[in-house]
Amino acid sequence: MPPSPASRFPAVPSQVALPPCRALCQGKIASGRTIPRRVRFKVASFASLRRRGVVGIIGAVSDRGNPPSRALCGALILAQGVHTSIIRIPARAEGAYEVRIGRGLLGGILSELRRDWPGNRVFVVTDANVAGAGHLAALLGTADCRLPIADFNPQFAARSPQLGVFVIEPPGEGAKTLLTVGTIVGQMERERYGRDTLVVALGGGVVGDVAGFAAAIFKRGVPCVQVPTTTLALADSAIGGKVGVDGELSKNAYGVFAHPARVYMDCDTARTLDERHYRAGLVESVKHAMIADAGYFDQLERGLDLLLRRDADALIDITRRNVAVKGGVVFRDPEEANERRVLNFGHTIGHAVEAASGYALHHGEAVAIGMIGACLIAEKLGVADRGVLPRARALLGRLGMPTRLPREVGDEQLLDLMTRDKKARGGSPRFVLLEAIGRVHCPQGQYAAEVPAEAVCAALKDLR
């Protein structure tokens, strides 16, 4: 069922401005120089593109004065078909990958993959929750995959010479380990999979990380197609090309940059989640709005009730917006040299809280606490507008997210975990801070700033 032309939840605007690429339609690029006339002409003809189905252009464009390429000199293009939106993210030297957004996509994925990767053997990685919800059956086009998970013993189930299935059991953050990755890679090796393997990650953030990491290291790298099934993965983890697993002492301790070959976002899958997972995953949508788009934040405030009722059009709309925000950042900084760190807003404290809780808190719940903590730090340092913290607290509260630290988590433990954060330098954690909704603090051109220890300790005290 296609999204309605006039969705009740406001759709992605024609042009989305993302820092530091300020205003594409005003003829500016990230460097501040003027877009060449020929490129500006292409942008100026946006109305004609829209009539052919293009619904947005995001990102910087070439400033060398050459004729526009077929991708508008590297700009991201959102193309909306009858049932599916397609977003191309040019995040790799060898070319872009597609993110396909819609409803009812699962049943057609394998046929498309066989068409586009003829001869490749498909290896599907999923978990018991996803299989139990019927998404594996929908992907494979067969009812016999809605089986008791004991029937997948051993975990690997050979479907055919060209198709294998690996079900992670038990599911959850506890499976996001090197051991799970090694088990998957070892099974592919035993079944004589080779460089012609195409891994399909069907599931939430843990499945995407584990399968993506396994694909990146198997035979020095095979392509991986991400098929996210949770609000968290649809909003964030399925795109961007970061895959990894947790270590004994910290979250995401081991990983690589490995962009997916393609992403399918079937928004119907998120509607099957339990209430806690569904709501927690929406925190990453709030994060994207807070770091990049004040108008998006306004729309979340107005349209949250629709999202909480799992309105299909609302889910598709925010998925497009999330891909636009994250895709634009990844386009400009694919390997997190600087700007991409904005995507870690709330994660310095959030990851520490998540690990300290023994993963009793979901990722989104921990990040919600971390976002409030970052807002408190920004207020204490005098860099944030007064309205940021109360608006963030109110919206996260409406989502039912915790905004205070669990009693059992101590400050010393959190401070120790924060020194192990991937943004830390010399054992000193870095924080992404906001000046206003939609505007990240960027001192000396750095998006993740060192913060005085006393400000961090004071924020942790205020989170109690």
Question: Over the chain, what is the mean pLDDT?
Answer: 81
Contact assessment for residue 440 and residue 370, using Cβ atoms and an 8 Å cutoff: no
Q: Spell out where 93-248 has E strands.
A: 95-102, 121-127, 156-160, 163-168, 197-203, 224-228, 242-245
By C-alpha distance, which of 287, 288, 282 is closest to 309?
282
CA–CA separation, 16 and 137 (whole Å): 37
Q: Identify the residue whose tokens are 């205003």.
A: 23
Query: 331 falls in which pLDDT band (50, 70, 90)?
Result: confident
Residue 231 sits in which domain range?
99-273
Q: Per-residue pLDDT tens for 246-265?
A: 998 888 889 999 999 999 99
CA angle in degrees (0–180, nearest 5) for 275-100-59: 105
Burial class (CB in 10 A: 0-12, 13-18, 19+), 260: buried
pLDDT of 335 reads 82
pLDDT of 110 reads 95
Q: Domain for residue 172, yes or no?
A: yes
Contact assessment for residue 330 and residue 354, using Cβ atoms and an 8 Å cutoff: no
Output the domain CATH number for residue 396. Answer: 1.20.1090.10
> Is a pLDDT exceeding 70 seen at residue 75?
no
pLDDT of 157 reads 53
- CB atoms inside a 10 Å sphere around CB 304: 18
- CB atoms inside a 10 Å sphere around CB 382: 6
Q: Identify the residue whose tokens are 């999204």.
A: 3
Contact assessment for residue 373 and residue 425, using Cβ atoms and an 8 Å cutoff: no
Q: Spell out where 206-358 has E strands.
A: 224-228, 242-245, 254-257, 262-266
Q: Domain for residue 26, yes or no?
A: no
Q: Are residues 224 and 111 in the same domain?
A: yes
Burial class (CB in 10 A: 0-12, 13-18, 19+), 464: exposed
By C-alpha distance, which of 154, 157, 155 is closest to 142?
157
> Is a pLDDT exceeding 90 seen at residue 196?
yes
Q: Domain for residue 4, yes or no?
A: no
Q: Domain for residue 445, yes or no?
A: yes
Position with higher pLDDT, 74 vs 425: 425
Query: Between the CA atoms of 113, 116, 120 and 125, what dihedral angle is there, to the nearest 10 degrees?
Result: -30
Q: Are residues 369 and 242 in the same domain?
A: no
Q: Are residues 267 and 356 in the same domain?
A: no
Domain boundary among 255, 273, 291: 273
Count, residues in the chain: 464
Q: Tell me the DSSP string of 185-251.
A: HHHHHHTT--TTEEEEEEESHHHHHHHHHHHHHGGG---EEEEE-SHHIIIIITSSSEEEE--SSST
Q: Domain for residue 150, yes or no?
A: yes
User: What's the total number of domains in the chain?
Assistant: 2
Q: Are residues 269 and 351 in the same domain?
A: no
CA–CA separation, 444 and 338 (whole Å): 11
> How many percent of the chain have pLDDT more than 90?
63
Q: Are residues 372 and 239 in the same domain?
A: no
> Is a pLDDT exceeding 80 seen at residue 384?
yes
Contact assessment for residue 327 and residue 56, using Cβ atoms and an 8 Å cutoff: no
Q: Identify the residue whose tokens are 């990755």.
A: 181
Q: Spell out where 81-120 has E strands.
A: 84-92, 95-102
What are the helix (H) ranges across 293-346? Answer: 294-308, 312-332
What are the helix (H) ranges across 19-105? Answer: 37-44, 46-51
Output the domain CATH number for residue 166. Answer: 3.40.50.1970
